[in-house]
Amino acid sequence: MHVYVPEFLPFAYVFRWLGAKVIYEVQENLHKKMHLKTYNRGYVSETVFRWFDRLARRHFYFIFTEHGYLDTYIRLSKPYEVIYNYPLLSLLEPFRRPYQPNLEKPVFFYIGWLSFERAFDTLVESLARLKSTYPTFQVHLFGQRTFTDADLDRLPAFEKIRTNLIFHGYKDQREAFSYTVHATVGLALLKPVGDYPDSYTTKLFEYMALSLPVVTSDFLLYKDVVERHKCGFCVSPNDPAQISAAIAYLIEHPNEACAMGQRGRMAVEKEYNWSTEAQKLLNFYTHILYGAD
């Protein structure tokens, strides 16, 4: 049995008692970001999670989607594997097009949770700065919001760019990625809270797979990808001026932006794709089923 939702851990024990081998896949380090959760919080929920999480370390096999989680998950009783959630290129290929940004009305793209922890408030201020030079830009935002309309109205810069933002809500990726056709940049900003600095954001590699240049946070983990492959900019998620300057550069230098997107695509083809991770997963399954602990 393979579980990846912490709330399912009690049910996983039922299957273990029935003789199943259980793999617990840790996709986020709740020990560092429990305070950011908007549901299943509170003393009882946190106590139950920590208790079952400790039990899992004794009885379950583990898969981690980030190496950074190993700083928290120590003294595991059974084998584990780190398997990154890199994109499956065949799923994204139908949406990849030659880089042709709209130079008259720049388009920016974002997919994922929308929250202030993910620097949406900083992004709003940076886009307000940008509007003085590029008044007709559009930002396509796909994903669930953790903030309300009232929260947005309290942001000083929001009214200035209200009409430039298009909130699509949660949509199937096939619908969302169709909006990248004339995009200038893929946005992937997160603040240094919880486990974010230790965790890759999947959309970073999705943008790279689509040949889009990226603007993302200046975490060391991200800089090792983006700056090493020269496929975008790493900026402070708390500095609107840096964000707006990076986006403006990509608008004003479309040839270099195109080259960044191509370098990002090459990096994903060579390193950051699901093919190698899938083989690691199959090998891990084989070890659990037929090998010795």
189-214 tens-digit pLDDT = 999 998 899 899 999 999 999 999 99
pLDDT value at position 109? 98
When mean pLDDT is compared across 17-26, 143-152, 179-188, the lowest value belongs to 17-26
Residue 231 has pLDDT above 70, yes or no: yes
Instruction: At 147, list the tokens.
Output: 């903030």
Residue 34 has pLDDT above 60, yes or no: no
- Report long-range pairs for 12-17 (Cβ below 8 Å, ≥24 apart): 12/56, 12/60, 13/52, 13/55, 13/59, 16/59, 16/60
Q: Report all structural domains of the chain as residue ranges with CATH numbers, in order of start.
A: 2-86+273-290 (no CATH), 89-270 (3.40.50.2000)
CB of 146 within 8 A of CB of 193? no
Summarize pLDDT for 243-279 with one digit per residue, the tens.
999 999 999 999 999 999 999 999 999 999 998 899 9
pLDDT value at position 186? 98
Residue 50 has pLDDT above 90, yes or no: no
**Average pLDDT for the chain:** 91
What would the DSSP string read from start to end of 250-273? HHH-HHHHHHHHHHHHHHHHHTSS
